[in-house]
Structure 1
Amino acid sequence: MKLIALDMDGTLLSSNLEISKENLQAIQTAKEAGHIVMICSGRAKEDALKLLEEYKLALPVGASNGAIVYVDGKVINSRCLQNDKVYKLAKLLESEGFPYKLYTNKGVYSPYTWQDQVMQAFEESKHTLDVTLEELERITEKQKKSNLITDFQKIEDVVNNPELEISKFFILTFNAAHRSQLLQTLQEDTDISVTASAPTNVEIMDKHGHKGNGLQEMAAYFNIPIEDTVAIGDNFNDVPMLQVAGLSVAMGNAEEDVKKLCDVVTLTNNENGVAHAIEQFVLKQTSSSK
């Protein structure tokens, strides 16, 4: 039995944010062969589950970059940020003009000024950007389509709400120099884990809230040795799970530095790379070892 951990964006999903029938079939075949397939994504739990539901996929999920581990309708582990840390980080981001969202146990929360902040940040940096207005609209449209987003007026409204637990900050930034400065500042804080899933974002979790721990916790839950795990991803937030997995698989569209640290490289996300990896490195290996 293997535990197969799949990233979503840039991995399981095509560039159109769809799961191909080939990928769906490969997941189903792997499950029928006795393997466990999980999602390990930077997305919020509700967002990941909603997308899986559209394809009638019932899979365990490591959400918010593995900070939230969810199996069979319940959270089995969560690594959330302390409220005082959330407050300090939010104030830092607000003072520097970075648009941010909060991933919580009650869905995604964003300042009511999110949309305006994103457009302002884009306008200020558009002459030095590779991101087009169309791509920006796709990013913001993705936010609009979710009915799980709650606006808030002040960060105090969030941190003073006893029902809320914050697992991740998602920050958009279109200015490479400002992004670099922010990363440098954040990396001095030993209580947090900092990563990115695209050149235009920064993601902050608790120091234990990363995909490596998410994969290890899921493996422990199912009593699967870590050497019997397979991780498939494309970006820097996938690195912790790729480093701990028994077999690390980079997508054909992965960042070059991510490819270098993986055992093997599969096809791209638009070429059913997940299906190819499952067939070549799990199903074929399993049948040949019988």
Structure 2
Amino acid sequence: MKLIASDLDGTLLDEEGVVSEENIAAIQKAVAHGIRFVVATGRSYDAANTPLKQAGITCPIISLNGAVAYTEDKQLIRTVPMDKSVAMQVLEVCREADMYLEFFTTNGIYSVSKKYFLEVLVDIMKSANPNASETEIREKAELRFQAEPVQFIADYDELFAIENLEIYKILAFSLDKEKLASARAQLSGVAGMAITSSGDINLEFNHRDAQKGIALKHLAESMGIDMVDVMAMGDNWNDESMLRSAGRGVAMGNASDEIKALCSYTTKANYDHGVAFAIEEMLRTINA
């Protein structure tokens, strides 16, 4: 292996959104062996770089599912914006379904209702942490807007009037799985668009060429590395393209059975230092 690519949430980051000391040490060990490291995430660059910086990790970052890619010194090397007519179709369908939306653009993230999304997060966190107090849950929910600062506007239509604005990703949330399935079904035939998901309550819309696997291949080729020499780690459907295209696809222990079935390898869960376990196992294999 010559290059390791890792997703962030549910993969490299633990349940507190932190890179564990075990994962840090394993990455450093791989780099010492001459193996490059890159992060491929649905997050924006700044939201991705914050936990990496805290961990002392400097690396290329593929962000927004592959719509934007940066070198380790934050030089922009690739952008793949959505066609605005496609973005308008997504808006129409999701707005009709009363879904919470976020538009990731050249000017940052836009939405129309912080209150609605906070209530969605609170409902999710209450289910996952029934013993936590309302105050604790709301404090944690508010952190979402610190990790990804969102600009609130009166109406999504305003975005299409902003000159030179490019839309890289649309993130749609709903607690109603029937609405998610219906929106996916209605939009799945739209030309030039990729639909993925990073969780049970969302859909992610990108240009068809803005996928982690495509962006990772582009980055690897720029380094003179063939995809057969790439190990990719992930836990959800927005990781599918890179798990399939990498020579060594590794599913996290916390991934669904369907994601695990795509991969030749499964590691431990993200909260059990699964990235470190996968790297150590890979290093043992190549040194055998």
Q: Normalising to structure 2: TM-score of the pair?
A: 0.90
Is 2:208 the counterpart of 1:236?
Answer: no
Question: 2:241 & 2:235 partners in 1: Cα distance?
Answer: 12
- Amino acid paired to 2:265: V
SS in 2 for 1:167: strand
Deviation at 1:120, TM superposition (A): 7.3
The amino acid that maps onto 2:180 is R
Partners of 1:99 and 1:114 within 8 A in 2: no
**Would the aligned equivalents of 2:120 and 2:175 in 1 still touch at CA under 8 Å?**
no
**Residue 34 of structure 2: SS of its match in structure 1?**
coil
Q: For structure 1, which runs of at least 5 residues remain unmatched after alignment?
A: none
Would the alpha carbon gap of residues 244 and 222 (structure 1) be closer, same or farther in structure 2, given more than 3 Å must change? same
Residue 98 of structure 2 is matched in structure 1 by 97
Query: How far is 1:148 from its partner?
Result: 3.0
Which residue is 1:273 aligned to? Answer: 274
Match of 1:36 in 2: 36
Q: 1:35-73 CA distances to partner (integer Å, 9 max, x unpaired)?
A: 111001111122112222222211111111112111132
Residue 97 of structure 1 contacts residue 117 of structure 1 at CA under 8 Å; is this kept in 2? no
Where does 1:188-227 land on structure 2 (aligned, <5 Å)? Answer: 188-227=189-228
Going from structure 1 to structure 2, the CA distance change for 1:261 and 1:56 (only over 3 Å counts) comes to same
C-alpha contact 1:69 1:217 (8 A) present in aligned 2: no
User: 1:4 matched to which residue of 2?
Assistant: 4
Partner of 1:21: 21
Separation in 1, partners of 2:155, 2:12: 36
What residue in structure 2 maps to residue 68 of structure 1? 68
Does the CA contact (< 8 Å) of 2:175 and 2:201 recur in 1?
A: yes
Distance 1:137 1:160, change over 3 A: same
Q: Which residue pairs with 2:253 in the alignment?
A: 252
* Letter aligned with residue 214 of structure 1: A
Tell me, in whole angstroms, the C-alpha distance in 2 between the residues paired with 1:122 and 1:12. Answer: 24
Is the Cα contact below 8 Å between 2:19 and 2:52 reproduced in 1?
no
Residue by residue, what CA displacement relative to the aligned partner does 1:90-142 show, whole Å, maximum 9, x if unpaired?
2332222110101123322222x24236637988xx9xx96678798577423
Structure 2: gaps spanning 5 or more residues: none
Q: Distance in 1 between matches of 2:139 and 2:275?
A: 24
Indicate how the Cα distance of structure 1 residues 204 and 248 shifts in structure 2: closer, same or farther if over 3 A, else same: same
Q: Which residue is 1:161 aligned to?
A: 162
- Matched to 1:42, the amino acid is G
Q: By how many angstroms is 1:164 displaced?
A: 2.6
Q: Once the 2 structures are TM-superposed, how far is the Cα of residue 180 of structure 1 from its aligned partner?
A: 1.1
1:36-185 → structure 2 map (5 Å cutoff) = 36-71=36-71, 72-111=73-112, 113-116=113-116, 119=119, 137=138, 140-146=141-147, 148-185=149-186
Percent of counterpart pairs with the same letter?
28
CA contact (8 A) 1:233 1:251 kept: yes
User: 1:199, 1:143 → 2: CA distance?
Assistant: 17
Name the aligned partner's letter for residue 189 of structure 2. E
SS in 1 for 2:26: helix
The residue identity in structure 2 corresponding to 1:43 is R
Taking structure 1 as reference, are residues 110 and 139 closer, same or farther at Cα in structure 2, changes over 3 Å only?
A: farther
Partner Cα distance (1:256, 1:273) in 2: 16
With over 3 angstroms needed to count, the CA separation of the structure-2 counterparts of 1:138 and 1:4, relative to structure 1, is farther
Write the deviation string for residues 163-189 of structure 1: whole angstroms up to 9, x where unpaired. 432111111110111111111111121
